[in-house]
Amino acid sequence: MQTAYDDLGNVVELPDEVRRVVSVVPSLTESIAATATDLIVGATDWCTHPADLDVVRCGGTKNVNLERISELAPDVVVANAEENRAVDLDALRADGIAVWVTAPTTVPQALDALGRMLSVLIGDEPAWLHEARDVWSAPYGGMRRCAVIPIWRRPWMALGRDTFAGDLLARLGVDNVLRESGERYPRIDLDALPEYDLVVLPDEPYAFSPDDGPEAFAKPARCVSGRHLTWYGPSLVEARAVLTQQLG
């Protein structure tokens, strides 16, 4: 057995060779599948990458099927402190299942979290992670803009303080106008926002599109890939180039 510590400092007891992993976070599913596909035996209904992933589906991130996960007898379940409910993760632990929780709020934290997790599960950092580190090592040196970044409508909600996506945008010269908010995902009144230059509309979790979202704002809007903005994994290799182009 090996003893390791996840992002929250929880002790995680794992076999010396991990062979069965259930992932309840889409970006972690993609990260592991891109590195050692055979390890994944279960994933959520929302784990869409890679497109050909053929594993048992275990519900959503907020409503995981605990019984199905238990039946898969995983060596570990990989999860995220924000995307998954603590009560579900505690139930898995109570069932004797090891749970590894990630909790990054910045790009460097995400890269380091992936490095720790994959080193424990697989034994080393994959090439794509080294490439992602190189991509994000260069500082941004251009013009800066302030943006509001909605993530939902009816009600309107946006990125607030201490979010991975907010940090990623800042590294592309786009500062979240609500970064000092008391909440991470505050409800917003469109008529009472601080001054901003730009609206950034990701296509997840709400599926904003050119026909659904921009019309609500008087300022220029940019529709961007939610996967590249909010997922931490292999998508980070191309996220800088993709988002830079989409942000215009």
Domain of 13 in residue numbering reads as 2-134
Note whether 25 and 120 are same-domain residues: yes
Please state, for a pLDDT cut of 70, what percent of the chain lies above it. Answer: 100
Please tell me whether residues 111 and 223 are part of one structural domain. Answer: no
What tens digit of pLDDT does each residue of 46-90 get?
999 999 999 999 999 999 999 999 999 999 999 999 999 999 999
pLDDT confidence bin for 227, thresholds 50/70/90: very high
* Within-domain flag for 140: no
> 13 with 100: CB under 8 angstroms?
no
Q: Counting beta carbons within 10 angstroms of the beta carbon of residue 225, is it exposed (0 to 12), middle (13 to 18) or buried (19 or more)?
A: middle
DSSP letter string, 141-192: -S--EEEE-EEETTTTEE--SS-HHHHHHHTTTEEETTTT-SSSS-B--TTS
Q: How many domains does the chain have?
A: 2
Residue 31 belongs to domain with CATH number: 3.40.50.1980
Residues forming a β-bridge with 43: 23, 57
Q: What is the DSSP letter of 12?
A: E
DSSP type of residue 85: -
Round to whole Å and give the CA distance between 184 and 105: 10
Distance CA 235, CA 227 (A): 7
Pull the structure tokens for residue 185: 């995902």
The pLDDT tens digits for 112-143 are: 999 999 999 999 899 999 999 999 999 999 99
